[in-house]
Amino acid sequence: MFADPTADFVYARLQRGTDETPTCYPPKELDHWAGRLKSYADGGVPEDLPLIAKDQRAQKTPREVFAFFISGGKVNAPRGARELQTRIG
């Protein structure tokens, strides 16, 4: 996984959720993803994700962000997506 933005949009595939968690990801992890996605939308790059090109953090280019939940049997992915939307606002 790398977090470098390479276009005027970000497409994030959230693949580490579980069917055992009612919201696919635990609440704390949903909070982290909400912050990361907001950072991308505002033109930044999340501080806690690895980058290939270190100069990416200096550039500020607002962009559209698309996040897709895909994990295991996908049982709770829709609920997780709704919960993430709530956190983003």
Question: What number of helices (H) and strands (E) belong to the chain?
Answer: 2, 2
Q: Average pLDDT of 35-57?
A: 88
Domain contains 3? no
Q: pTM, whole model, 2 decimals?
A: 0.89
What is the tally of structural domains in the chain? 1
Domain contains 75? yes
Domain contains 2? no
φ, ψ of residue 84 to 5 degrees: the values are -65, -40
Look up the domain containing 26 and give its range.
9-88
pLDDT 10s digits, 54-68: 776 667 889 999 999
What's the pLDDT score for residue 29? 96
- For residue 60, the one-letter residue type is K
